[in-house]
Structures are given as C-alpha cells and as structure tokens.
Structure 1
Amino acid sequence: MIIEPRTRGFICLTAHPVGCEQNVLNQIDYIKSKSKTDGPKKVLVIGASTGFGLASRIASAYKSYAATIGLFFEKPPKEGRTASPGWYNSAAFEKQAHKDGLYAKSINGDAFSNEVKAQTLQLIKDDLGQIDVLIYSLASPVRTHPDSGERFKSVLKPIGGTFTDNTVDFHTGEVKEISIEPSSGDDIKNTVAVMGGEDWKMWIDQLNAAGVLSKDFKTVAYSYIGPSLTEAVYRKGTIGAAKDDLEATAFKITDTLKNIGGKAYVSVNKALVTQASSAIPVIPLYISLLYKVMKEEGIHEGCIEQIERLFSERLNAANIPLDDAGRIRIDDWEMRDDVQAKVLELWKEAKTETLPQIGDLDGYKTDFFNLFGFEVAGVDYDKDANEMIDIPGLQA
C-alpha cells in the first residue's frame, strides 16, 4: 500500500515501515561510528520503542554489544492499517541486531501490570540470568495500578494559577496565545501516580527480590527541567510534580540496592521533538527557537546523539558527575547561559511572520514527521510499502 501521513493535532495516525527502518539504521550507523565502550552487557529498556528509550537500546547494543530486552506497548499492524511507529522501530532494530549477532527480544504489553513484570522477570531468568542496567523511559498518559486496579490519568496543567503565553501550531506556523487553567482536585496526585517514581521502584524491587540484578547494577530514569520560559506549565506544573517524585525515588531505590552495590540515577535530558513533547503547549515554540540557536552554535543533538554522549561521558565514568540534587545533567548544552539568553531574546520577537526567519520550525516539523517514518531522506514514499511487519524477537 502507499502510506501517507495523516495527522490529527500533535499525533500522526499512520506510520511508514520503511521510513521507520531507515531512521533506526541511521541511529545504528551513528553509534557504530563512535568508539566502543566496556559498558553493560545485559540491558532491560522499559519504553524501548521510540525516543530516548529506543536510542538507549541502540546505544547499549552497539556501544558495548549488550544483549537487550525491550519492553513497550505498541499497536501491531492490520491488513490495510499501519502499526504504530514504535512497532516498526522495534522490528527494524531487532532485524538488524539479529543480523549483527546480537541478542534482542521484546515484550509488547502494559509495563505497569504485574503480568508483564512477571513475564519480563521470567525472560531475564531464562535467557540472561541477570541484567546490568535498567533504563526506565516510560511515557504514558494513563496508568492502571497493578494492585488496586485504580486508573489514573495524567494532566498537563500549571499549579496555583492560569498560565498564559505563546505557542505555535507547528503544522501551520501560526504563533498564538494560549491559556491553561490551573490544576484542581486530584490532578497532581493522578499525574504523579502515572509519571512519578512508584512504578520504577516496583520494577526494581521485584527484580532485586528475584536476584536478577547484577553486582554494581545501575538503573536510569529520564527527566526534564527546562528553562524559565516553560517552567510554569512544565517543571512547576503537574508534570513537574511527577518529575520531582521520580527524582526523589532514585534515592529510595539506591538505598534498597545497597546489598548489591547498585545505584539509581535520573538523567535530565535535552528538549527534543518526541510524541510526548509535541503535546505540551509552548514547548514546540521553545524547541523551534532552541534548535535554531543550538544549530548555529554547532551543539545541536537529536535523541541518539544525546544518549551516546550520556553513555560515553556519564554512565561509564568512574565517578559519574552529578548536580547538587544528585542528577545527571546531559541537558548541559541546552541550559548554557549564552544559549538560553539567545532563546529568550528570540522569544520576545516570535510571531507568525518572524518565526520562519528566527526559528527552526522546518527542523521541528521534519523531526516530528521522522518520528512516524515520514520525510526521511532516501526513502521513496511513492512505492508500495508492506505494512504487515513482524518483530523477530517478540515474545508471546
């Protein structure tokens, strides 16, 4: 079938298998071009099919030849209907990993559930014995608690007052004002329940109790802080409350891993175009300006470049550099004073008419469509594509 992008708001309803595969191959080639490390050999990635999680799986496999288990919740294809992009990404990764002689298996299911945790634990026992690293890169808007059955839904709202500022419709380029009403009721509690650290700790506790975590085991969860421009709706909003909980959980996990010398870290990553970030008002405008500045400075990174630097310069360091709050800061280039000063100046000038000149909206849009396998260089989108792609190592 000929597959074209069909968008609705900040999501694309279709995905292109060939484009997704090319994206994955490009990331693999990037890691292959970098120096190898004596890093982890057995890695579990929770949220392994897109964005930072996918980049982490690729970096683990091709920087230190790690065996990887990827966990995700993706929609498989049906005749005449494409799969979600993460499905095609995972299929492409496993196809190439197996070709290169690397162990790679995947589980498609609800990572919050006890059933998927049990299935993953058994796979580790059967195939790997233990794991060295667990990457927690889960991004979900809802969570059903595995014990109580209560369903929580996260919200993106400021805390304490209405937030008003500019954003951009990246499809049309229109810069417009947006207002978001403040959180109320159980909004904060629900968002923390979905995006905080409870599930991360549940994973570690269960794996540790089963004895499948190696000596000096490490686990890393991903977070974001961002600039003052976005803090009212992000870091000081409901999502920020969840990120605070996630970061506090790292210390609790480290305490529980004393028996094996294990450590838990939160890595604060750079603002990038992901399916999650595209849904956050203000962020698309901020990213389009940030991209412009960082590209001009020669310090722009996509997901794979960011994660390669995280693995090379941080996770494999003898003494991992941390900020005053105990976090890894791989957002250091984004948060440089000169970069943020330039973005702030551009923000004051950002209008529908000026954005094409002062921002990188084209780069934002390209990255957005790349997430779904579209607008990828070298792909012929006029050719028929087979939507019915299997994931080679998918576990039943």
Structure 2
Amino acid sequence: MAVQIVKPRIRGFICTNAHPAGCQANVLNQIGEIKQGIPYKKTDMNALVIGASTGYGLASRIALTWAYGAKTLGLLYERPADARRTATAGYYNTVAFHQQAAADGFFADSLNGDAFSDEMKAEAITRLKSNFGKIDILVYSIAAPRRIHPTTGVSHQSELKPIGAPYTGKTVDLNREVIAPVTIEPANEQEITDTIAVMGGEDLEMWIDALADAELLAPEVTVVAYTYIGSSLTWSIYRDGTIGRAKDDLKARVDALDERLADQLGGNAYISVNKAVVTQASAAIPVVPLYVSILYDVMNAKGINEAPIGQMRRLFSEHLGPGLQPQLDSDRYIRLDDRELQPEVTDAVTERWERIDTDNFHELSNYAGFRRNFRNLFGFEVEGVDYDEAVETELVF
C-alpha cells in the first residue's frame, strides 16, 4: 500500500506524475457521456484497441464497451507506480476502466508493453485465442515518439518538423505564458524517414498480417486508424510536414488493406480524420497550444466543441456502429473534423490568430481552459476530486 497526497508536478506542459482519483473521475465522466449519448445495444463484438490508455484510443474503448457491450483487448505502454513516483495517467485510466467494466459486467483484458514489438503481437494473439476469438473491429490509435523496428532493430525517432523550408510562426511560451515567435528548422531526409517509420502505416500492416496468419480476423472485420489534417494555420507542421508524410504512408497502406480485407473477408479499413484536441502529445508541439486555445474558445461559443469522447460517440453511433455504413469523403476519409473546419470557425480562428499577442492573449483565446484541460489529462483540477485527501497510488488492473 502506498497512500499519499498527490500534488501535480508540472512545468509548462510537462507533467511527471498523475492523480489516480482524478483519472478515475475522467474515465467515469467519459463513460457517462457514452451512456447518455448512444442507446445501449448488446452485441457479441470483439474489439482490439491498440493504444487504449489515453485520448482517442481510450475513448474508442469506452464507446465500444458501454454502447455495444464489446469484449475489448486493450494494448498500452504505461508505467506503473513504484516507491518513488506515481503511475502514468494512462495506467490509472486503465485501472479505472477495468474497475468500472467489471462492475457493469463487461469483459476486458489489457496488455502493457511495446505494441510495435513482435513479442507483444504474439502475446496479444495468445490472449485473443484464449479469451476472445476472432476480432470484429480493430482500432489503431498509437501516438508514440519512438519505434524500434522489430525486423531491423533500428530505433526510429519521430520529428514534428516542416519540410523544405523553416516554419516561422507564433507559439505560447509555456513557462512565461506570453506569445512568442517560433522558428522550426526543416527536417532532413533521415528525420522524414524516421517519422514515417514511427507514425506511418507499416506497424498496422504488420498487425493485420499477424492476425490474419493466426486466423483471428472475423468476416466483415472493420479496421479504423486515426489522423489529423486541420486548418491551414497548422499545415506547415502537420499536413505539409513530417507527420503529414507519415500520415500519407498510413493512408496508402489503409487503402491497400481495405482492398485486401474486402476481397478476403468482406471487411473494410478506414481512416477517421479527427478534430484538434488537448492530448499529451499535442501539447508539446509548438503552435498547437495556441491554435487549440483559440479554436476551443470559438467552438465553445458556438456550442459545437468536442473532447475525444464526443468525437468517438459520433464515430461509433453514426459511422462504425453495428449495421452502419460510414459516410466517406472523396478520399475515403471519415470526417469528424467537419465542425472544426466549418468556414465560420476557421475564419474566426484565423482572424484571431493574426491579431493575437501577449497583451490580448487571454481575451482572444481560452488558454486558461487549455491549461486546465491539459492538467485534467493527468487527473488534476478535475471537478469533484478532493486533492487534499490521501489516495492509494500503487494500483493494478
């Protein structure tokens, strides 16, 4: 037992600890949104969620469980607590998920380790054969900074950089909380290659190969991966940068998988383009905290903003739920970023972006809300949690 009072250890947008009760409250809030937003329909669905502990992956797992009673195997790569520090937020999220799933009578299993590795694929296949059977839906939601290639042993580090020319723009100095100029130098060819290796579609392809060889893909299986396009304000970093190249690779491989699955199993593979949200990964990217702070202020005023759980409520109630045919654009994307890219939203965000400076920073954005949402990710500043109360930190799922 390790009962202690947990206070946040935060500098800028780096948080080195997490609060178990706050993370639990976050998970319960998301479960409540799904219960209220999707009428429950019991199915015999088996789901594999790769990247299941935070953000869109966690929200997907919650939606599949509490909307459709899916049996889920979740893969995560999180640190448990030890004598010196708390567990990561994703670890506590998974504990809370398992506790509530068990209480509500849903079956769930999780594996903690490197989903890029052959060993994790083999262990997942063993668990699926023992406890699940064939997979009806696979959700691929990995946001990792590094990948050790299982065949070559080479370590690839992703880089969020522009390509061809430096990017100069505005950002938030997270420690001083002022608007400051930022210049990001362009990536070299090796950095582009490494980013594609980490964030492209090769690993998803390897997962499908492994599951197919093990005869674990159900007839009419659905595969969905996530991406982001965003407005022109972020294209230099996202769409036209290294991550854009990686997502182009993901798109090409998903399209090929779609043809393969359709031919062999009557299945499909899709990419869902999601809106900008506050995540541990996005908060560390220059430009993004400022962009999202403005975006959230505009979308909140219009009553159309969504957190990851709201996006996944729409995905699984309107596009990928049982018996549904997803609505696709001309590039075969599911577009959950439609509200972010409404002209009246992008015009308002762009107008504020051009005017914003340190003096009007808080007037033209909801930076305080962004900062609170970021801290919420780690279980801090969550409504209803008593942070002066000691909590058990060494939990297991």
Instruction: Give the TM-score taking structure 2 as reference length.
Output: 0.96
Whether 2:299 is the aligned partner of 1:294: answer yes
In the aligned structure 2, how far is the partner of 1:36 from the partner of 1:368? 30
User: CA deviation digits over 1:228-250, x for unaligned, max 9?
Assistant: 10101111000110011111111
Long gaps (5+) in structure 2: none
Alignment partner for residue 225 of structure 2, among 221, 224, 231?
221
Whether 2:346 is the aligned partner of 1:336: answer no
Whether 2:160 is the aligned partner of 1:156: answer yes
Q: Bigger shift: 182-191 or 311-320?
A: 311-320
Which residues of 2 match residues 242-391 of structure 1 at below 5 A?
242-257=246-261, 258-316=263-321, 318-391=324-397
Whether 2:136 is the aligned partner of 1:132: answer yes
Conserved 8 A contact 1:2-1:384: yes
- Equivalenced residues, count: 391
Which residues of 2 match residues 171-210 of structure 1 at below 5 A?
172-210=176-214
Which residues of 2 match residues 87-166 of structure 1 at below 5 A?
87-166=91-170
Question: Which residue in the other structure is 1:394 paired with?
Answer: none
Q: Bigger shift: 339-348 or 249-258?
A: 249-258
Please state how far the C-alpha of 1:292 moved relative to its aligned partner. 0.5
Please state how far the C-alpha of 1:38 moved relative to its aligned partner. 6.2
* SS state at 2:179 partner: strand
Conserved 8 A contact 1:85-1:372: yes
* SS state at 2:243 partner: helix
Question: Which residue in the other structure is 2:25 paired with?
Answer: 22
Please state how far the C-alpha of 1:77 moved relative to its aligned partner. 0.4
Long gaps (5+) in structure 1: 392-396
* SS state at 1:229 partner: helix
In the aligned structure 2, how far is the partner of 1:161 from the partner of 1:202? 33
In the aligned structure 2, how far is the partner of 1:371 from the partner of 1:254? 34
Instruction: Give the TM-score taking structure 1 as reference length.
Output: 0.97
Conserved 8 A contact 2:196-2:243: yes
* SS state at 1:335 partner: coil
In the aligned structure 1, how far is the partner of 2:117 from the partner of 2:143? 15
Conserved 8 A contact 1:170-1:365: no
In the aligned structure 2, how far is the partner of 1:303 from the partner of 1:368? 13
CA RMSD in angstroms, aligned pairs only: 1.2
User: CA deviation digits over 1:138-196, x for unaligned, max 9?
Assistant: 01110001111111111111000010000113454311100000111311111000000
384 and 283 in structure 1: CA distance in 2 versus 1, 3 angstrom threshold: same
In the aligned structure 1, how far is the partner of 2:319 from the partner of 2:213? 28
Conserved 8 A contact 2:340-2:346: yes
* SS state at 1:33 partner: helix
Identity of aligned residues (%): 49
Conserved 8 A contact 2:46-2:133: no
Conserved 8 A contact 1:40-1:133: no
User: CA deviation digits over 1:113-148, x for unaligned, max 9?
Assistant: 000000001111111111110000001110001111
Conserved 8 A contact 2:318-2:324: no
In the aligned structure 1, how far is the partner of 2:365 from the partner of 2:252? 36
